[in-house]
Amino acid sequence: MSFNQPPPLVDYNLYDADAPLREALEREGAAWAQDMVHDLGRLAGTQEAIDWGFQANAHPPELRTHDRFGNRIDEVEFHPAWHRLMEVAIGHGLHALPWREPRPGAHAARAAAFYIWSQVEGGHGCPVSMTYAAVPALRRQPELAAHWEPIVTTLDYDPGLREAATKRGALFGMAMTERQGGSDVRTNTTRAVPVGTGGEHLLTGQKWFCSAPMCDAFLVLAQAPGGLTCFLLPRVLPDGTRNRFHIERLKDKLGNRSNASAEIELDSAWAVMVGEEGRGVRTIIEMVNHTRLDCVIGSASLMRQAVAQATHHTAHRSAFGKLLSEQPLMVNVLADLAVESEATTVLMMRLAGAFDKASDTEEAHFRRLALAVAKYWTCKRAIAVVAEALECHGGNGYVEESILPRLYREAPLNSIWEGSGNVNALDVLRAMTREPESVAAFVVEVERGQGLDVRLDRALADLKRELANPSDAETRARRVVERMAVALQGSLLVRYGDPAVADAFCASRLGGDWGHSMGTLPPAVKFTAIVERHRPATN
Ligand SMILES: Cc1cc2nc3c(=O)[nH]c(=O)nc-3n(C[C@H](O)[C@H](O)[C@H](O)COP(=O)(O)OP(=O)(O)OC[C@H]3O[C@@H](n4cnc5c(N)ncnc54)[C@H](O)[C@@H]3O)c2cc1C
């Protein structure tokens, strides 16, 4: 055993080690899923699963455009570890739990499970998330949903390009972004020409960022005669032949390297319309809403894994005669990170709970605004948290084997896809203008914490003033969204969080008794209690 080198963080249960998650699972009505999440937490802490995560990233997917005889195949080959990760994710229903078991708390249960399992590896969450998210959009076209839903909601991971009806399970992706624009999808140039009856079209054009191209089918936006429309495009046609979906190349990405993201060419590819012609954005937004929830969950998961690693490392490493976790300045950094992580976990579970209560009008209004606010803020915070947690490890954190470099490269992604930061902030403004009820529902939720902490009360009063001010709305959008996010997190924490965490959050994020980097909490904070709550107990 090397002197003063911490033991690896392994053989622990990620669920048992996560008090904020356990509390939230119960609060959001998903206690029935405890055994499943617990099982996943145990598996996620094993050396075997951790190795899968490293292997899937050390051996990224490879494109095979042609077979040995020169025929186009447009396939991507993955390392076996990728398939193991996918098997576990699909086997635990992370792609379909609420559609398989539409009971109260199902989205919350799935959120908790997705958050736990993503800590092992983030990249494979992409097709898992897109498959989960495709179902509500598919339901806009009931006969398509009747055909596809039974196949995409099984617990079988059945990779390979074959006709979907012959498979034990199928996955979905989405292709919206084009070379000339991803945020402004209305500029899409892919053409859809109607053929036959029943909404069949042939699609021609290019998509610039199409992830997980080995999925069985894609929801694609294209210009039909009646305007931008959503289509279902299978990779294999009903007669068993390949659709004309050609993979030009795979992106060489900053992170998310286990996952393939492709540039694709659609050459009169067969597709069938989903939802109304000319209402493509409205149809696919059902999918985007669910993948946005997963961006929040993904960010929470990155933060949690980073905090788990940092609190573990510093509890076993000494400098200047003391454990790092006993050095007052390090404790301040760790507590600050833990506060951010807990605030995010609590918010993520509250949001997932709102998805469960979608039939309640108030909850639906709350979700409309809170989702965009949370997507903006938690994705931004993940970047700062992971970077600072990496530094807690010193040089060891800069080395691949520590997992921190992988978390660091993954962190900016959630803020880019499904609406980059600015676009998300502008979406908050859009919701406020078009659905003013969502503002009222948001404020009511924050007010539920009123009277419990004076700093929250003041932040709420400030927020109301900000919301009432219509001037320079676009210029102020990020400022307003930030304030909304921390007010909501503060309200959730004073009601449901650990009291020491809630106090530290209100003092720093709401009361302004804070600096510009992590580790600047005021001295009255209960540092040790906070850090110990977040440190995974290992044997
Ligand atoms: C790893 C990865 C995987 C992806 N997978 C998929 C996929 O599977 N399917 C898919 O369709 N897409 C995918 N994308 C694409 C992603 O959704 C787009 O990159 C994203 O929507 C932004 O579009 P863009 O890249 O064209 O940037 P642009 O639209 O050019 O935006 C550039 C910047 O300008 C900002 N901006 C845009 N409009 C405004 C405005 N009005 N005011 C102020 N600022 C503005 C944006 O916030 C952004 O920061 C993926 C991206 C990544 C990184």
159 — pLDDT class (breaks 50, 70, 90): very high
Q: Ligand 1 centroid to 177 CA: how many Å? A: 7
Look at residue 20 and tell me whether its pLDDT is greater than 90: yes
Rounded Cα distance between 101 and 86, Å, is 20
Angle subtended by helix axes 436-447 and 421-434, to nearest 10: 100
Q: Is 415 in the pocket of ligand 1 (CB under 6 A)?
A: no
| Per-residue pLDDT tens over the stretch 271-280 | 999 999 999 9
Supply the pLDDT for residue 351. 98
Q: Who's near 368: CB < 8 A, 6+ residues apart? A: 431, 435, 438, 441
Nearest ligand 1 atom, CA 255: 1
Q: Ligand 1 centroid to 35 CA: how many Å? A: 38
| Average pLDDT rounded to a whole number, residues 333-349 | 98
CB 13 within 8 A of CB 41: yes
CA torsion angle for 347, 27, 448, 457 (degrees, to 10)?
-50
| Average pLDDT rounded to a whole number, residues 506-520 | 98
Q: Is 529 in the pocket of ligand 1 (CB under 6 A)?
A: no
Supply the pLDDT for residue 197. 84
User: In sequence order, what DSSP letters do the residues of 165-217 get, joined into one string?
Assistant: GGSS---EEEE--BTTBSS-GGG---EEEE-SSTTEEEEEEEEEEEE-TTSSE
Portion of the chain with pLDDT greater than 70, in percent? 100
**In this structure, what token pair is assigned to residue 204?**
């021609």
| Per-residue pLDDT tens over the stretch 438-458 | 999 999 999 999 999 999 999
Nearest ligand 1 atom, CA 178: 26
Ligand 1: which of 379, 416, 428 to mutate, judged by most atoms within 8 Å of the beta carbon? 416
Phi-psi region of 162 (alpha: psi -120 to 50; beta: other; left: phi over 0): beta
Q: Is 416 in the pocket of ligand 1 (CB under 6 A)?
A: yes
Supply the pLDDT for residue 200. 97
Average pLDDT value over all residues in the chain: 97
Alpha carbon nearest to ligand 1 atom 26, residue? 182
Supply the pLDDT for residue 539. 52
Rounded Cα distance between 117 and 115, Å, is 6
User: In sequence order, what DSSP letters do the residues of 14-38 get, joined into one string?
Assistant: TTTT-HHHHHHHHHTT-GGGHHHHH
Measured between alpha carbons, how far is residue 392 from residues 221, 334, 356, 402, 501 in Å? 44, 8, 37, 12, 20
Measured between alpha carbons, how far is residue 481 from residues 55, 133, 209, 495 in Å? 38, 25, 28, 21
Q: Is 422 in the pocket of ligand 1 (CB under 6 A)?
A: yes
In 3D space, the residue among 429, 508, 501 whose CA is nearest the CA of residue 471 turns out to be 429
Look at residue 480 and tell me whether its pLDDT is greater than 80: yes
Q: Ligand 1 centroid to 376 CA: how many Å? A: 13
| 3-class secondary-structure state, position 253 | coil
Element (H, E) at 256: none
Q: Is 251 in the pocket of ligand 1 (CB under 6 A)?
A: no
CB 495 within 8 A of CB 451: no
Q: Ligand 1 centroid to 266 CA: how many Å? A: 20
Nearest ligand 1 atom, CA 211: 8
Alpha carbon nearest to ligand 1 atom 30, residue? 181
CA torsion angle for 365, 368, 374, 376 (degrees, to 10)?
-140
| Average pLDDT rounded to a whole number, residues 294-311 | 98
Q: Is 177 in the pocket of ligand 1 (CB under 6 A)?
A: yes
Q: Ligand 1 centroid to 101 CA: how many Å? A: 33
**Interstrand relation of 172-175 and 191-194 (parallel, antiparallel or unpaired):** unpaired
Rounded Cα distance between 261 and 253, Å, is 8
Ligand 1: which of 245, 250, 380, 423 to mutate, judged by most atoms within 8 Å of the beta carbon? 423
Rounded Cα distance between 275 and 170, Å, is 21
| Average pLDDT rounded to a whole number, residues 343-355 | 98
Look at residue 195 and tell me whether its pLDDT is greater than 90: yes
Supply the pLDDT for residue 538. 75
Supply the pLDDT for residue 2. 82
pTM of structure:
0.98
Look at residue 1 and tell me whether its pLDDT is greater than 80: no
Q: Ligand 1 centroid to 418 CA: how many Å? A: 7
Q: Is 420 in the pocket of ligand 1 (CB under 6 A)?
A: yes
Alpha carbon nearest to ligand 1 atom 29, residue? 183
Q: Is 175 in the pocket of ligand 1 (CB under 6 A)?
A: yes
CB 195 within 8 A of CB 163: no
Nearest ligand 1 atom, CA 130: 8
Q: Ligand 1 centroid to 227 CA: how many Å? A: 21
341 — pLDDT class (breaks 50, 70, 90): very high
Nearest ligand 1 atom, CA 177: 11
| Per-residue pLDDT tens over the stretch 57-109 | 999 999 999 999 999 999 999 999 999 999 999 999 999 999 999 999 999 99
CB 300 within 8 A of CB 379: no
Q: Is 174 in the pocket of ligand 1 (CB under 6 A)?
A: yes
Alpha carbon nearest to ligand 1 atom 35, residue? 422
In 3D space, the residue among 463, 336, 404 whose CA is nearest the CA of residue 57 turns out to be 404
Nearest ligand 1 atom, CA 253: 1
| Per-residue pLDDT tens over the stretch 100-129 | 999 999 999 999 999 999 999 999 999 999
Look at residue 198 and tell me whether its pLDDT is greater than 70: yes
498 — pLDDT class (breaks 50, 70, 90): very high
User: In sequence order, what DSSP letters do the residues of 117-135 get, joined into one string?
Assistant: HHTT-STTHHHHHHHHHHH
| 3-class secondary-structure state, position 336 | helix
Q: Is 424 in the pocket of ligand 1 (CB under 6 A)?
A: no
Q: Is 211 in the pocket of ligand 1 (CB under 6 A)?
A: yes
Of the given ranges (180-184, 375-379, 383-387), which has the lowest mean pLDDT? 180-184
Nearest ligand 1 atom, CA 175: 11
Supply the pLDDT for residue 196. 82
Supply the pLDDT for residue 526. 98
Look at residue 157 and tell me whether its pLDDT is greater than 70: yes
Nearest ligand 1 atom, CA 212: 8
Supply the pLDDT for residue 501. 98
**In this structure, what token pair is assigned to residue 418?**
């499904």
Look at residue 483 and tell me whether its pLDDT is greater than 80: yes
Q: Which residues pair with 236 in a beta bridge?
A: 242
Nearest ligand 1 atom, CA 256: 1
